Amino acid sequence: EPAMKRQRLASPLPPALQLARDGFLAPFDVISAEEASAALSRLDTHAAATLGVATAQAEDLDGEQRFKLHVLYPWAANLVKHPKLLAVVRAALGTDDVLVWFSEVNAKAPLSDRHAAPHQDGIYASLAPNDVVVTAWLALTESTTDMGGLVFQRGSHLRGQLPHQVDDEAENMIGFCRSELGEQDVKEAVPVEHLA
């Protein structure tokens, strides 16, 4: 009987293995442009009502005004329970048993200095144990590298919880950041773009 040859994967790794290797999955088309536009409009309505300013927009929200909107609004609950999003999350975790623990809006105006400093989501959102949870990012508008879009550090999860420190810089939307970014972090940076 001839020796068995190793099979090469003809397609990308299954989501759970890719997540285990890289620490993220991206990009996925989850919501349509129409769904994104409607959600952004409703988010702006939330901002105007919450802040009491008719012209307020999502990027004007701060602190607790940005959190757990899926508990307050059916439209936000529908976003976090979107069938395409849940399909990706279930595939990544390898289970149909999914709980939405938290939702958050991180919005910034065009050409704004606002940003989320480099961090690990497991520490930021107090997710533990962090090997059985995921965070999902839904872009409601175009997001490119030039605009300061999302960047993942491939494999950083394999190094455990890395040191973080308080960052009280007003433009930092999350209030803390990784304390050290090394040469390896720069090499492993993977920008994720969402084009309208």
Percentage of the chain exceeding pLDDT 90 = 35
The residue among 44, 122, 121 whose CA lies nearest residue 76 is 44
Q: How far apart are CA 54 and CA 84, in angstroms?
A: 33
Tell me the per-residue pLDDT of 120-130, one tens digit each, with 9 for 90 and over: 777 666 666 66
Q: How far apart are CA 118 and CA 102, in angstroms?
A: 20
Question: What mean pLDDT is reported for the chain?
Answer: 83
Q: How far apart are CA 45 and CA 150, in angstroms?
A: 25
Please state the separation of Cα 191 from the chain's center in Å.
12
- Segment 179-196 mean pLDDT: 72
Backbone phi, then psi, for 116, in 5-degree steps? -105, 115
**Residues with Cβ within 8 Å of residue 2, at least 6 apart in sequence:** none
Q: What is the pLDDT of residue 51?
A: 97
Q: What is the pLDDT of residue 89?
A: 93
Q: What is the pLDDT of residue 1?
A: 46
Q: What is the pLDDT of residue 181?
A: 64
**Residues with Cβ within 8 Å of residue 138, at least 6 apart in sequence:** 30, 31, 36, 79, 85
Q: What is the pLDDT of residue 27?
A: 85
- Is the distance from CB of 117 to CB of 123 less than 8 angstroms? no
Tell me the per-residue pLDDT of 14-54, one tens digit each, with 9 for 90 and over: 889 988 889 888 888 899 999 999 999 999 999 999 999 99
Residue count of the chain: 196
Q: What is the pLDDT of residue 173?
A: 73
What's the sign of the alpha-carbon dihedral 106, 46, 143, 131? positive
Q: How far apart are CA 50 and CA 97, in angstroms?
A: 33
Tell me the per-residue pLDDT of 62-101, one tens digit each, with 9 for 90 and over: 888 999 999 999 999 999 999 999 999 999 999 999 999 8
- Segment 131-157 mean pLDDT: 84
Q: What is the pLDDT of residue 4?
A: 46
DSSP state at residue 196: -
DSSP state at residue 140: S
